[in-house]
Amino acid sequence: MIPVHVRGMVGATLALVGSIAACGSSDDSNGGKNGNGDAGSIVQGGPNTPGALVGPGCATSNANGQAEPVHLVFMVDRSGSMKFNPAPNNKWDSVVAGLTGFFNDAQSAGLFAAEQVFPQGDSCNASAYQNMIVPVTALPDKTGALIGALNANGPDPNFNTPTEPALQGAIAFAKTLKASGKKTAVVLVTDGEPQGCSSSAGGSATEAGKGLPDIKTYVIGVGDSLTQLNQIAAGGGTTKAVLISTASPSQITTDFVNALGQIRSQALSCDYGLPPPPNGEVLDVTRVNVQFTPQGGTVQTMEYSENCANGKGWHYDNAASPTKVLICPDSCNTLLANANGKISIVFGCRTVATPH
Domain boundary among 242, 267, 292: 267
Q: Are residues 296 and 247 in the same domain?
A: no
Q: Are residues 259 and 278 in the same domain?
A: no
Helices (H), 89-221: 91-104, 127-130, 145-152, 163-179, 201-209
Domain boundary among 267, 300, 322: 267
Residue 318 lies in a domain: yes
Neighbours of 183 (CB within 10 A): 20
- Residue 26: give the domain boundaries: 4-48+59-67+271-347
Residue 250 lies in a domain: yes
Residue 164 lies in a domain: yes
Q: Are residues 296 and 341 in the same domain?
A: yes
Q: Are residues 175 and 250 in the same domain?
A: yes
Q: Are residues 261 and 276 in the same domain?
A: no
CATH number at residue 244: 3.40.50.410
- CA dihedral sign, ordered 23, 24, 25, 31: positive
First to last CA, the chain: 29
Q: Are residues 123 and 261 in the same domain?
A: yes
Domain count, the chain: 2
**Single-letter amino acid code for the residue at 202:** G
Q: Are residues 12 and 156 in the same domain?
A: no
Q: Are residues 290 and 176 in the same domain?
A: no
Task: Name the residue among 298, 308, 85 with its Cα closest to residue 316.
Answer: 308
pLDDT tens string for the chain (356 positions)?
Answer: 333 333 333 233 233 223 333 333 333 333 333 323 222 233 333 333 343 444 434 433 323 234 678 899 999 999 999 987 666 568 898 889 899 989 998 888 888 999 999 999 999 999 999 999 999 999 999 999 999 999 999 998 889 999 999 999 999 999 999 999 888 999 999 998 999 999 999 999 999 999 999 899 999 999 877 889 999 999 999 999 998 888 777 788 888 888 888 887 777 778 887 876 656 667 788 888 888 888 888 988 899 999 999 999 999 999 888 988 898 988 888 887 775 677 777 777 788 897 76
Angstrom distance (rounded) from CA 68 to CA 65: 9
Q: Are residues 128 and 23 in the same domain?
A: no
> What DSSP assignment string belongs to 41-76?
PPPS--SSPTT----SSEEEEE--EEBPPEEEEEEE
Q: Are residues 114 and 244 in the same domain?
A: yes
Q: Give pTM, 2 decimals.
A: 0.71
Angstrom distance (rounded) from CA 2 to CA 347: 9
Residue 355 lies in a domain: no
Q: Are residues 170 and 218 in the same domain?
A: yes
**Single-letter amino acid code for the residue at 138:** A
Residues 6/345, Cβ–Cβ less than 8 Å: yes
Q: Are residues 181 and 292 in the same domain?
A: no
Domain boundary among 238, 267, 296: 267
